[in-house]
Structure 1
């Protein structure tokens, strides 16, 4: 017989949680934000933003004191691109976004001066800024990239050598500007790099943001884009190759917050070797004012050997029904046997056939950079990675 008794406090859902009141975040844009590291709890690995990450490997970057002194950078002079160092209280800092997690806040609390990269002029141009040999000391850094209205350019942020680095990168794209930013991780095998990228895109402006992660023991690059004004466009691309014992992670967030904005997110990765790990989380939020939105995100992973793991989590929130379209996709799989058979049937050895398939899978991203010299260099770097597959 069905009971009509009132539920007691011991029944599920009526007993207080052992960790205190738990209120879930209802939408991606409501996450807590602060530039003060003390405002965040210590990282345990159980938090939603850390549950896929090897937090013990970089506890010094989330909780320890960081060296925020100015790190030397190498750059070649380019007409229309300037760089300078600005103080923490400069008004140009904080316009694109502020931290949502402790590592980012620790870097924000610890840096002394920010590197400002300014792009001006309507002609196409490429500027590369390289950091190398930062050493084993835990460091903090902050970079601001600003594209003037109607400007056009490509900025490459390259990291090489040893590093234990937590940083924030702000990208402000002015009205009508067309900017490409490539974040290139070619760190040494034992390096650790945690980065949060914040982008604000102006009216009728376009940003192409490309993350290429090849080197480093733990690399975590999380780009967030705010399509704040009508006609804004973001193309977020990523390519990564995770070897044995390597952890490569990307948490991508696109916030459509204005009418008639567009986003395309495409990340592709390959994994080989025992303990190779990749993490991709894609969040797209279409706000209630973002009518006419056109959005699509996808992640593809190619598993080359046993002992690897690829986590892929696409999320889509829609707060208005008046949109052009929105969708997401995710897939993780092994080689296509038919492709291998086709190549081998034409006299290509199996090892070479495997490399051709992987190269074709990943170079789709590289070919969209828009700089022939950089594309060629990355293709050669990818070929070097594949020699061990």
Structure 2
């Protein structure tokens, strides 16, 4: 923080209300130890009266004490060296520069990434001031998002105690936990989500593909179309999209038949894989040359008799459930659109619906809203 001396003649105070040890204004309080002012240049001292109370500035453009490039300055704290309404010969003030940020709902702070300073020396100074202020205010977790164009600020944040949280294509997110207690900030996303589409036509043929890029032991295997869902994509729409991309077949989502949960699958992340039953609405295959070597409609019996399918207990169980569903002896999870009062968000809720009259699966096979 910078300490400076001001001549009181350079300060413009309009309609001052004087009390011993405190000067009160309409929007600012001056106390014996400190006073808070708007971060503008203040000019010309004109004395005091006992009528209106206000603080004025003659700066036409509101220039900040740190210049027009405000670097997200929020407040300035000033101290004066007196305990009465008479300032004396000088005012001692302390300039406190704070990163532009807003409070989150958990007692933490989220820094505005669009108002970060570019100069590394300025950044480290303001970052230290900000952490000091947030510590005195009892803040908890600090979220600092650094865009790729500000990547030179990353080592500075690390030296000041920030830790990596996660990274995306355009930024790195860093965090700082202030309290002297276990960190309660949520961890980075722990799972990747995949989908597979079980598509069978009225000839009891299953839509299968051979992947162009696969492990040697899986070469020649005919398998279900699979892939990862995209950011903000629904499970049911991701399954429909993957089947369309790999085979050119249009489908409708029916149900989630089952899902698998595995750990340490890729880069120490866990994996959720949803098997979805889809109804075909077209039949002409057009493969994706980038991912798929071949695709075809394959007789169900031929599909399940493949050695790798037949010898894999988990996949054999999945196929058994799909066959049972086709025979109406098993009910999967259909999707329903609902809004929760907890967050007022439209969400997809997957659950089992059974028709009590026939103890079979309900006819609600497509995505519905409730």
CA radius of gyration, larger in = 2
Normalization by structure 2: what TM-score? 0.23
Q: Which has the higher strand share?
A: 1
What TM-score comes out, normalization by structure 1 length? 0.22
